[in-house]
Amino acid sequence: MTNIKNMLIALFTLVLVNVGIAQADSSNFAGPYVGMSGSGYGIQLSGESNSTSGGTTETDNVSLGQVAPVVGGEVGYAIPIGSMMLLDIGGSFYSGEAKLDYKSEHSVANDKTDRDVSLTIDNLVNYYIAPTLVLSDTSSVYVKIGVTEADVTVSGDITSPGNLSGETWAMGTRTVLSSGIFIRTEAGYTNYNAISSHGKGTTIANTSTYSAEPTIAFGAVSLGFRF
C-alpha cells in the first residue's frame, strides 16, 4: 500500500508542477458544503485462527474478498489559501458491512455450530484533510489524507476486539457549478490496524485466537451543494 500512497502523491505533484498559472478563483470552491455519495468498495479481509490442543498449535488462514455498493454522506469546509489552493477539511459516513466467517471443523455443511465465529465490520466514519489545487473556475483536483474508524462486532464464544482505526489516502476531482452544486469523483484505499480475539472458554478454548487485517480499496461519486 505504500506504493499506492507514493503514486497518489506523485500524481498530485505532477499536476501541481504542470498546471501553470491558471486563471482561476479559489473562492468559487470555498465555504461549507454537504453531499451524498455512492461508492463501490472492494474489501479484503485476511485473517487466521489458531487453536492449541495437546501442546500443538494449528493455524488456519482465511482470506475473504468482497465487493459491495455503499452509500454515505459528507460535510466539510474548504478554506482558500491564495487564488489557486484550498485546504478542505471534513468528515464522511458510509453504511455497509463486511464479514469474516470461520467455520469450526465440527461444522456440518452450512449449519452453524456453537464453535463457529464471525467478525463483522460496518459503519465507516472518515475524518479528512484534502489539499486542493484549483484548475479553473469550475474544476479542481485534490489529495485526501484521513483517519477512518469502523465498528467491529463478533458472534460466537469469543471476546470482542476493539473497533478499527486506519489511514485513508485518496485522490479526486471536484467540479462546482455556478449554482453551488458540485460533483466529486474519488478513488483511494484504507489500510486498517489488525484486530484480534480469543475464545472465552465455554465452547471455544481461551487458547484459540482469531485475527484479521482489513484493507479497503474504493471508488466514489458524490453530488452535493456548496453554500
Three-state SS annotation for the chain: CHHHHHHHHHHHHHHHHHCCCCCCCHHHCCEEEEEEEEEEEEEEEEEEEEEEECCEEEEEEEEEEEEEEEEEEEEEEEEEECCCEEEEEEEEEEEEEEEEEECCCCCCCCCCCCCCEEEEEEEEEEEEEEEEEECCCCEEEEEEEEEEEEEEEEECCECCCCCEEEEEEEEEEEEECCCCEEEEEEEEEEEECCEEEEECCCCCCCCCEEEEEEEEEEEEEEEEEEC
Model pLDDT for residues 13-37, shown as the tens digit of each residue: 555 555 554 456 788 899 999 999 9
Q: What is the mean pLDDT of the chain?
A: 78
Under the banding of pLDDT at 50, 70 and 90, the label for residue 4 is: low
CATH 2.40.160 correct for 2-226: yes
Cell numbers placing 70: 455503499
pLDDT of residue 132: 92
Q: Provide the CB-side half-sphere exposure for 225 (13 A, CA).
A: 2
Stretch among 15-19, 66-70, 122-126, 168-172 having the lowest mean pLDDT: 15-19
Could you tell me which residue, 100 or 169, shows the higher pLDDT? 169
Residue 77 contacts residue 31 (beta carbons within 8 Å): yes
Confidence check: pLDDT of 219 > 70: yes
**How many whole angstroms separate alpha carbon 166 and alpha carbon 50?**
25
Under the banding of pLDDT at 50, 70 and 90, the label for residue 123 is: confident
Stretch among 24-28, 59-63, 75-79, 120-124 having the lowest mean pLDDT: 59-63
> Percent of the chain at pLDDT above 70?
72
Rounded to two decimals, the pTM is: 0.75
pLDDT of residue 6: 59
Model pLDDT for residues 145-199, shown as the tens digit of each residue: 999 998 888 887 778 787 889 999 999 999 999 899 999 999 998 988 887 777 7
